[in-house]
């Protein structure tokens, strides 16, 4: 990975574009999976840079005795063209060239043609990345995967009345909800419609087990149903996942992922850090004695968060433990019911 990083730094066009975007060229890796974010000053230069980057990666890996798998679904590129000339570049790439970029890496001799497929959507480490930069495709994909798992176990497990409801709830959480909510901590802002759809699907599964749905004469509202059975809402699930991802990024990927988080927070009014603030407000509400005094979570900065995570009240063990999730079930519903009375 260090050699690939060095090869990226040798690209003067990338260096200029990265400086303008305040985005340092880097390689994000996980075991044998890598993602290489690049940018360019114009749509035309972006396509040229994709070609050069692909060639450099193949050259570096070949020297190490490795081969890049360019098959469909393995090594692919998601290109987002913006600015003057973007429509023409989309036509050239997807219509004229069939969505493929020819690669001719130096010092690598290959009898067959090497082509990098450019796609609109790519799944990296279980998360769908799309060129339109919204969550619609990812949410629909997750719902489909989770519904498939639910159907396989519906009769044998979730409708099996010889198993207690509590146990079936736990099996639903571990076998189905994990597919639906995997890695949601890195998701962007969900539209109200997508959030409602996600929660509706989840609550429907729990209602089938509890026998509480539209088929009854009286149906409990979703909020009261989740309160009764101590089921965390979608907002709480996302908040917990965001906090855990933030803790992990700070302590385990401070020089890469955390730097990207800070950079986006400094340059965008709709950054992931803005969503994190909502989760931090919720954390402070349920556990006020676990946060530093005088810290306003609604306006907290990345630097203040670093000071908190590096100080005596570092919430790492608390947030990453099961105790944290149980706090919500025991406390927040109780507080809401008291307000209602």
The domain spans of the chain are 2-130, 136-217, 237-340
- pLDDT confidence bin for 170, thresholds 50/70/90: very high
pLDDT at 272: 93
Tens digit of each residue's pLDDT (9 = 90 or more) over 223-277: 889 888 888 889 889 999 999 999 999 999 888 889 889 988 988 888 999 999 9
Helix (H, G, I), strand (E, B) or coil at 183: coil
**Phi and psi dihedrals of 187, rounded to 5?**
-65, 150
The CA distance from 2 to 76, in Å, is 21
pLDDT at residue 338 greater than cutoff 50: no
Instruction: Report the pLDDT value the prediction gives residue 188, as an integer from 0 to 100.
Output: 86
pLDDT per residue over 176-187, tens digit each? 999 999 989 988
Tokens of 318: 């608390």
Q: Look at 56-65, 175-184, 325-334 and tell me which has the smallest mean pLDDT.
A: 325-334
Predicted TM-score (pTM) of this structure: 0.76
The tokens describing 22, both together, are: 């305040």
248 exposure class (CB count in 10 Å sphere: 0-12, 13-18, 19+): middle
Average pLDDT for 285-302: 89
What are the two backbone dihedrals, phi and then psi, of residue 128, each rounded to the nearest 5 degrees? -85, 125
pLDDT in tens, 123-134: 777 777 777 777
Place of tokens 């069939």: 98
pLDDT band at 321 (very low <50, low <70, confident <90, very high): low
User: Is it the case that residue 16 has pLDDT exceeding 90?
Assistant: no
């Amino acid at each position: 990975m260090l050699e690939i990083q060095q090869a990226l730094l040798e690209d003067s066009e990338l260096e200029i574009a990265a400086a303008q975007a305040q985005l340092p060229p880097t390689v994000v890796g996980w075991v044998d999976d890598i993602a290489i974010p690049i940018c360019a000053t114009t749509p035309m230069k972006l396509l040229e840079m994709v070609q050069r980057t692909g060639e450099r990666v193949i050259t570096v890996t070949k020297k190490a005795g490795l081969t890049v798998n360019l098959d469909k679904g393995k090594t692919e590129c998601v290109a987002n063209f913006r600015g003057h000339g973007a429509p023409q570049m989309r036509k050239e790439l997807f219509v004229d060239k069939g969505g493929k970029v020819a690669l001719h890496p130096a010092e690598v001799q290959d009898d067959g043609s090497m082509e990098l497929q450019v796609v609109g959507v790519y799944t990296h480490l279980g998360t769908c990345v799309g060129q339109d930069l919204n969550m619609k495709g990812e949410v629909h994909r997750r719902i489909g995967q989770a519904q498939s798992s639910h159907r396989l176990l519906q009769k044998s497990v979730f409708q099996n009345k010889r198993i207690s409801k509590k146990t079936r709830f736990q099996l639903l959480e571990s076998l189905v909800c994990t597919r639906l909510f995997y890695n949601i901590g890195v998701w962007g802002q969900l539209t109200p419609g997508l959030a409602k759809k996600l929660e509706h699907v989840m609550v429907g599964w729990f209602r089938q087990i509890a026998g509480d749905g539209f088929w009854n004469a009286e149906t409990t509202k979703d909020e009261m149903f989740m309160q009764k059975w101590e089921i965390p809402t979608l907002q709480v699930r996302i908040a917990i996942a965001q906090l855990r991802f933030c803790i992990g990024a700070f302590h385990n990927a401070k020089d890469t992922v955390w730097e990207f988080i800070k950079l986006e927070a400094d340059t965008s009014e709709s950054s992931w850090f803005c969503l994190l603030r909502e989760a931090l407000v919720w954390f402070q509400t349920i556990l006020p004695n676990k946060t530093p005094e005088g810290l306003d979570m609604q306006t907290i900065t990345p630097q203040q968060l670093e000071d908190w995570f590096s100080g005596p009240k570092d919430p790492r063990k608390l947030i990453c433990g099961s105790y944290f999730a149980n706090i919500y079930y025991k406390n927040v519903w109780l507080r809401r019911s008291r307000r209602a009375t």
